[in-house]
Amino acid sequence: MSKRLLAVITICTLVLFSLNFVGCQRQIEVRDIVVSEVIHSIFFAPQYVALHKGFFRDEGLNVRLDVAQGADRGAAALLSGSAQIALFGSEAAIYTWKRGAANPIVAFAQLTQRDGSFLVGRTKDDDFNWNDVRGKTIIGGRRGGVPQMVLEHILRQHNITPQVDVTIIQNIGLGATAAAFREGKGDFVQLWEPTASTLVGAGTGYVVTALGEYSGILPYTVYHATASFMRENPAILERFARAIYRAQRFVAENEPAVVAGVIAPSFPEMTIEQMTGIIDRYKELEIWASTPIVSEEAIDHLQNIMILAGELDTKVPFANVVNNTFSKRVVGARR
């Protein structure tokens, strides 16, 4: 081999190495993302799996979670720019579109598909019937929010008229409902995990039923971004959806105890055994969506509930409030 040929090969090798090195550097460039979660709950287990298994990090995303304590506050965080992605029910996307927002909120990846709350009462009742709430008071959620509207929907399914046959308290923030119940307010309270189990463990209340048994398939908690962020950062949202899809598969393919061990850092006040029981119950209820794709049927079901609740007059077209481009791409690549 001539010296000239050897020199050419060496130079080409160095160029290729440099290009690969630059490419790798670009791949590991990290983007800081603030995700506003409506509450902090084991209900969102796949999200914490993505965080603690490094699925977000693998996608070059440095995710920081911020608890909004309400979909309205999560939507405000998106619109103000204090969060880039927010997890809440898709009613907020529908509201912003109906109000003619210049920068509407759009759903792009679904996490949960059923109501993940539990009705907690003051006495143990293994034979609970929805008629047991007649004449009683339930501490519910904010008017116009998915939790409140789904609760009302379930009551109507059982021929119970909200605010007529049963009183529902709607003016207590999600982060304060358990404390209000402990202080003696209400006969029942609607809670998510681990708060429900914490009340039970303290002997303050007893879970009487799971609302997920009655809610039907819904876009109960979905990741959203503003239309402008979506337009300017499509790669970020696709990478985020990919991390969530990996986490959804991990949760589906592993035993509750394994999932509990992974998400334990997010719930230091809970034991592995407690979390395992909760995750097992959520799996039994089929709480978590199998993919991040938001279905048109689920959005339609939600809008029917919103109309019955008196919060919506006419339906919003699916394409106006959902962009499945990123989720379909990551799911399609997996198949």
Name the residue ranges covered by the structural domains of the chain: 26-114+218-334, 118-213
Q: Give just the sign of the alpha carbon dihedral 286, 291, 292, 293.
A: negative
9 has a pLDDT exceeding 60:
no
What is the pLDDT, as a whole number, of residue 242?
98
1 has a pLDDT exceeding 80 = no
Q: What tokens were used for 86?
A: 């927010």
pLDDT of residue 335: 65
* Residues shown for the chain: 335
Shared fold status for 26-114+218-334 and 118-213: yes
Is it the case that residue 11 has pLDDT exceeding 90?
no
What is the rounded CA–CA span in Å between residue 122 and residue 215? 23
Does 180 score more than 80 pLDDT? yes
User: If you average pLDDT over residues 306-322, what whole number do you get?
Assistant: 96
For 82-136, what is each residue's pLDDT tens digit? 999 999 999 999 999 999 999 999 999 999 999 999 999 999 999 999 999 999 9
pLDDT at 10 over 80: no
Closest CA to 187 of 252, 243, 140, 221: 140
Which residue type occupies 169? I
Superfamily of the domain at 118-213: Periplasmic binding protein-like II (3.40.190.10)
Query: What fold, for 26-114+218-334?
Result: D-Maltodextrin-Binding Protein; domain 2 (3.40.190)
Answer whether residue 40 shows pLDDT above 60. yes
pLDDT at position 334, please?
75
155 contact partners, CB below 8 Å, separation of at least 6: 130, 133, 161, 162, 165, 166
Q: What pLDDT is stored for residue 27 in this prediction?
A: 52
Tell me, what's the pLDDT at 4? 53
Q: Is the dihedral of CA 229, 235, 236, 242 positive or negative?
A: positive
